[in-house]
Amino acid sequence: MDEIKEKFLEILEFYPKSYAVKVKYTPYEDLDNIIITNPLDYVHHIFLPNKEDLFRFELLSALTVLGEKHHLLSTDYYDTYTKENMYEFIDGFSRLLKPIRFAWAGRIAGENSPDADKLLSETLKRIEIEYLNALYRGNRRASLEVLPYIAFAKGLDPDWDFFNDERLNAILNDLVKADISVPNLIKYAKKLQRYLPCFCSFSVKEDPERGFEVFSLDF
C-alpha cells in the first residue's frame, strides 16, 4: 500500500499545494480506499481495486491525474444563478481535459503496468463498447465521445494512429509525449477545442484570497 501511496503522490506532485493521502479500510473486501484531500478539504474518494484488475486500477488512477480539483474549485466563485448557468461550460471544459488526463494516465500506466499489452487490449475492448453505445444513442461523432479512451490507448502505445484527421493524430502524438503540467494542460485543451464542444475561453489564474492556482472560465 505504501508503494501505491507513493505512486499517487508522484502523480500529484505538480499540484500547487500539497495533497494529503489517507488510506482507510472499507467494507469492500476487494477494495482499498484512498482518500485524497487538498488544503481546503475538497475530497476525492478513490476506490482502488486489487492490483490484478489492471484496467480499473489504471483508469481510476487517470481520474486523479488532473482537472477534478480545478473543476470543483471553479464552481464556487459564482452566485447561485451564475453557477446554474455555467454547468454546461464546466461540462464542456471537462470534456476537453479528459482526453489529456487520460493520455497522461495511459503513459504512466504503460510505464508501470506489469502487463501493458493486456491493458491495451482491454482498453480497445472498452473503446468498442463505448463507441457502439454512443452510436446507439444517436451520436454521429461517436469516435470523439470515446476520445479519452483512445487517448489512454495512445498513451499506452504511442505507435498507434487512430484518426484519419492528420491534425488530430498530431495533437495526440505530441500530447502523449508532453510533460504533465498545467501549462501543457491548457495548451492541449485549446488545441482540442477545435474538435470538442467547449464554448468558453479559459486560463489559469492565481486566486489572491486562497493563494493557489485555479482555472478561470470566461463565457
Partner 1 sequence: MGEVLSKEDLVREFLESIKPALLRHEGDVELHKIEDNVIYLKFNGACVDCNVRPESMFPMLKMMLMNKFPWVKDVVDLTV
Region from 20-28, 71-79, 82-90, 123-131 binding partner 1, contact rule CB under 8 A = 123-131
- Number of alpha carbons in the 13 Å side-chain half-sphere of residue 55: 13
Cell of 24: 482507510
173 belongs to the binding site for partner 1 (CB under 8 A): no
117 belongs to the binding site for partner 1 (CB under 8 A): no
Site size with partner 1, rule: CB under 8 A: 20
- Residue with Cβ nearer partner 1 (79 or 159): 159
- Residue with Cβ nearer partner 1 (5 or 126): 126
Per CB under 8 A, contacts with partner 1 among 126-155 are 127-128, 131-132, 135-136, 138, 140-144
How many whole angstroms separate alpha carbon 217 and alpha carbon 83? 12
20 belongs to the binding site for partner 1 (CB under 8 A): no
Q: What share of the chain is helix, strand, coil (3-state, %, to 5)?
A: 55, 15, 30
Residue corresponding to grid cell 482491454: 122
Smallest distance from partner 1 to CB 150, Å: 9
Any bridge partners for residue 24, and if so which?
Answer: 33
Q: Pinpoint the alpha helices (H) of 113-165.
A: 116-136, 142-145, 147-156
Region from 31-39, 124-132, 186-194, 199-207 binding partner 1, contact rule CB under 8 A = 124-132
For residue 120, give the amino acid letter.
L
Smallest distance from partner 1 to CB 168, Å: 8
Smallest distance from partner 1 to CB 12, Å: 32
CA angle 114–117–119, rounded 5-degree value: 75
Phi (first) and psi of residue 41, to 5 degrees? 70, 20
Smallest distance from partner 1 to CB 157, Å: 12
Contact residues: partner 1, CB under 8 A: 121, 124-125, 127-128, 131-132, 135-136, 138, 140-144, 162-165, 168
